Structure 1
């Protein structure tokens, strides 16, 4: 028996392709959308074939393991340049007139330390998808939350959007940093139903763990590898379809950390692209930068090909208890971008403009700059540029 994610459309608004296609599922009647109908079923090969006869079926894929994009060690930090708050200064958060007030930010992570002093005054709306409780014994989710909206700690500024008053917390990863793709999708739909303006995640589909799982079940290595890759692709397509099915007028912006899989300290050729699900169409992927000799450069670990970049090296934010700690990772860059998205949400509303995935992604990309980045960087390294906080009227 294998557990499958099953995406259906009982409304008839969306059509199932008659032949396999790379194209996303298109609405039968343009402009119509509906809440995606997702269920989880345990199926053997015979039941799988029977289920595929359902005319409302859009897609099916096996549930896959997920893993946290865990913080990375970095031994060559330039301590003289990496002082607390350097990330906020690099993105202009110390010069903006916006605070993020009114924005609803969601993080799908390891939970949060609900009593942390940096979250004082923040309305926490939480849902646990792990059956372990919402509290964060890992520390990653709390660090990310602190960078997004944390209040000052002992005179140290850690938060980008310190006026953001609502944080949606979906605990999709256990304290060990492991989870499953069905929990992730359920958390996405939960955050959307709670009125999130922007949803951020720092996890990836764990193909290596899936291969290990399948070989333990008796699969030959070659078949296990092919099955895991196929399942990864299927989950990515279901996620893309779910995003397409949400009402574009209210769909939240999805922002994902690009991944920490590169090994540039060993060789400049040891690079890879965005991890899934950050690689999905409709997701703004964020890479990490840190200081170089001629400006900010991609962190040695940060995956290539991001949509945008943000500070992700030596970032001081909340730890899992009541203090602060420094971390490195594309997760830390993601947190800066989510903070800027909160500032832009307030800015768009103040301008009388709608807030949704399209308007927020446009605002993020439009405000990005190459100033401060090393001049030799290409779009593969920096995407559209370094995220920037709003400073005046939107163009």
Structure 2
């Protein structure tokens, strides 16, 4: 039997026409709110065909593994070369009057060490979707959260938006960095229901792991590859459908790390595009940059196709116990982007501007600049450029 994800609308307002599953779904009443529901079922081929005949079922897709966007090695950097807070200065977060106060942020990651002193004064609402407890034995989620909003540690500033006091944490990856797509999708639905204004994640639907699993189950390699691609596309579609169903001004700004799969240090052509779910429509994909001799340069590991870039090399943030540690990765860039987005929410509210995901994304993209980037930086690598914190005052 195969594990499937089923998407429904409890209100039954969203229905599908008599066409293939997932095609052309739409609400009968465009103004009525949806109530998405995700189910998981083990189905035989016969079960699948019978279930697919249910008109209340919006789509049914194979579940698949997910993986953490594992931080990149630090071999090329010496500890003495790592400058705390360089990303804050590069984005203007160290001088903006905004702090992110009053903004509700959600992170979908490996959990959090809520007892770390950098989270003092932060109300953390956590939920475990991975089934291993909300504690973060991996450390990735804690590092990301520290960059987003961490309080100063021993005179070292690590947090972009230190005024945030309301943090949602969905643990969607186990301590080994592995998870399941249904856990991510359920966590995403949870953040929508909890009215987060910004949601950040740094994970990928793991096609390679899906292929390996299917081959172990006896699938021919070619069929396993085709089936894994089908599952990848289907999970991406569910993610997009959830955002579409919530719709209007209720959808938070979705920020996803573009991925660390490129190997440009070996050959310039060893690069690839955004991982899913960062590649989903309605998600702003964030790439990583780092210091270079002539400006900030795209990190050699960052995938192409980001909408914007943010600092992601040698980023010092919350580490094990009460300490700090440096990490490389588009996850670190994603954390900067989440914090910068929170600063923009505060700025827009101060200006009496309605805050919606499209309007917030527009502010982030328009803030981006190529001015501090190295001469070889391109749209393929950096999108609209390096994002910037809002200027001005709160008066």
Corresponding residue number in structure 2 for 1:257: 257
Q: Residues of 2 paired with 1:98 and 1:262: CA distance?
A: 35
CA distance in 2 between partners of 1:239 and 1:393 (Å): 37
**Residue 237 of structure 2 corresponds to which residue in structure 1?**
237
- Aligned equivalents of 1:171, 1:289: Cα separation in 2: 27
1:36 is aligned to: 36
Deviation string, structure 1 residues 328-362 (Cα, Å, up to 9, x no partner): 00000000000001111111222222223122211
TM-superposed deviation, 1:10: 4.9
How far 1:58 sits from its partner (Å)?
1.4
| CA deviation map 1:201-250 (0-9, x unaligned) | 00000111111111111111111111011000000011101111113212
Aligned residue in 1 for 2:381 = 381
Contact kept? 1:143, 1:320, Cα under 8 Å: no
TM normalised by structure 2 equals: 0.96
Mapped to 1, the partners of 2:67 and 2:229 lie a distance apart of 16
Question: In 2, distance between residues paired with 1:79 and 1:136?
Answer: 24
Question: What secondary structure sits across from 2:250 in the alignment?
Answer: coil
After the TM superposition, which of the residue ranges 25-34 and 96-105 deviates more from structure 2?
25-34
1:122 counterpart residue number: 122
C-alpha separation in 2, matches of 1:28 and 1:293: 57
- Counterpart of 1:330? 330
Contact 1:312 1:332 in 2 (8 A): yes
Q: Is the 8 A contact 1:310 1:334 kept in 2?
A: yes
Which residue of structure 2 aligns with residue 106 of structure 1?
106
Q: Give, in whole Å, the separation in 2 of the partners of 1:282 and 1:356.
A: 12
**In structure 2, what is the equivalent of residue 353 of structure 1?**
353
Mapping 1:49-64, distance limit 5 Å: 49-64=49-64
Tell whether the 8 Å contact from 2:107 to 2:170 is kept in structure 1 after alignment.
yes
Query: SS state of the match for residue 334, structure 1?
Result: helix
Q: What is the deviation of 1:392? A: 2.1
2:236–2:276 Cα contact (<8 Å) kept = yes
Aligned-partner SS, 1:88: helix
TM-score (normalizing by structure 1): 0.96
Counterparts of residues 134-213 of structure 1 (less than 5 Å) = 134-213=134-213
CA RMSD of the aligned region, Å? Answer: 1.8
Aligned residue pairs, count: 394
CA distance in 1, matches of 2:13, 2:35: 11
* Contact 1:81–1:291 under 8 Å retained in 2: no
In structure 1, the residue corresponding to 2:249 is in which secondary structure?
A: coil
Find the aligned partners of 2:115 and 2:252 in 1 and give their Cα distance.
27
Give the superposition deviation at 1:15: 4.1
Structure 2: distance between partners of 1:17 and 1:184 = 27
Matched, 1:226 2:226: yes
Measure the CA separation in 2 of the matches of 1:176 and 1:221.
26
**Counterpart contact for 1:104–1:166, Cα < 8 Å:** yes
Query: Is residue 2:288 matched to residue 1:288?
Result: yes
Higher deviation after alignment, 222-231 or 371-380: 371-380
Task: Give the drift of 1:7.
Answer: 1.0
Residues 1:318 and 2:318 aligned together: yes
Residues 283-331 of structure 1, C-alpha deviations (whole Å, 9 max, x = no match): 0010000122221111011000101100000000001311000000000
1:217 match: 217
Counterpart in the other structure of 1:85: 85
Which residue of structure 2 lines up, in the alignment, with residue 341 of structure 1? 341
Gaps of 5+ in 1: none
**Distance in 2 of aligned mates of 1:23 and 1:340:** 36
Contact 1:138–1:320 at 8 Å: present in 2 too?
no
**Cα distance change on mapping 1:379 and 1:49 into 2, 3 Å:** same
CA distance in 1, matches of 2:21, 2:354: 33
Q: 1:81 to 1:172 in 2, by over 3 A?
A: same
Contact kept, 8 Å, 1:78 with 1:291, in 2: the verdict is no
- Three-state SS of the structure 2 residue aligned to 1:138 is coil
Deviation of 1:51 after TM superposition, in Å, equals 0.6
Q: Distance in 1 between matches of 2:163 and 2:379?
A: 32
Instruction: Name the SS of the counterpart of 1:60 in structure 2.
Output: strand
Cα pair 2:100 2:163 within 8 Å, conserved: yes
